[in-house]
Amino acid sequence: MSLAEISARIQKAEDAAGRARGSTELIAVSKVQPNERVEAVLNEGHRLFGENKVQEAAGKWPDFRDRFESVQVHLIGPLQTNKARQAMQLFEAIHSVDRPKLANTLARLTQELGHCPDLFIQVNTGEEPQKAGVLPADADGFIKDCRDLDLPVVGLMCIPPVEEEPSLHFALLAKIAKRNGLEGLSMGMSSDFERAVALGATHVRVGSAIFGARDYG
């Protein structure tokens, strides 16, 4: 699907939900994609991208940032504390804040570096043991702890279980955000971004629908 088609579908979903046009940001998830494909999307004028690994982003984005103006890259994958410093220097936002140790590290590094990217707290809405994120029952407490550390928390993020209707998870994430006074909702991927927009997503993370299937070979 072309970038224009995805944008048109987002706009249609915004209209249907009675939301302002342009109130959903499209994060083009470029992980694993060959540089030519990423460059093609940059040449179309798109500037907001998502990566799930610090190392991969470090190898790819400094060069693109030199060549294209106002690029923004968001980290959407898990973050180890020993990579937090590098992540804070590479990304405009981190969508995967999910545990006290990481929050404490980010707070300490913010003092040292004098800045912090926008932060989203990842919530494990499906309570899946293998998945990152705070449990829904722990979310309010963790959001408060992050705020007490003066971290710039702008919203919540989730990755619904593959086998379940994503709308239930998007609605749960929106509810937790609302009761905590958080505006940002990072939810929705290639297969369900319109349902996410319907439930208030401010950031959809779309990879394969834009770039084609990822070749992990």
Which residue's Cβ lies closest to ligand PLP?
207
Which tokens go with 173? 């994430």
Between 99 and 110, CB nearer to ligand PLP: 99
Give residues in contact with ligand PLP (CB under 6 A). Answer: 29, 31, 52, 76-77, 159, 189-190, 205-209
Between 26 and 110, CB nearer to ligand PLP: 26
Minimum distance from residue 208 beta carbon to ligand PLP (Å): 3
Between 185 and 206, CB nearer to ligand PLP: 206
Q: What are the residues whose beta carbons fall under 8 Å from the beta carbon of 9, sequence distance 6 or more?
A: 193, 194
For residue 209, give the 3-state DSSP assignment: helix
Which tokens go with 133? 């994120």
Which tokens go with 67? 């060549």
Minimum distance from residue 77 beta carbon to ligand PLP (Å): 6
Minimum distance from residue 172 beta carbon to ligand PLP (Å): 17
Which tokens go with 65? 């940032």
Residue type, 188: G
Minimum distance from residue 8 beta carbon to ligand PLP (Å): 17
Between 36 and 216, CB nearer to ligand PLP: 216
Report whether 51 contacts 87 (CB < 8 A).
Answer: no
Distance CA(75)–CA(64), nearest Å, equals: 16
Minimum distance from residue 117 beta carbon to ligand PLP (Å): 16
Distance CA(39)–CA(41), nearest Å, equals: 5
Which tokens go with 59? 């190898």
Between 110 and 121, CB nearer to ligand PLP: 121
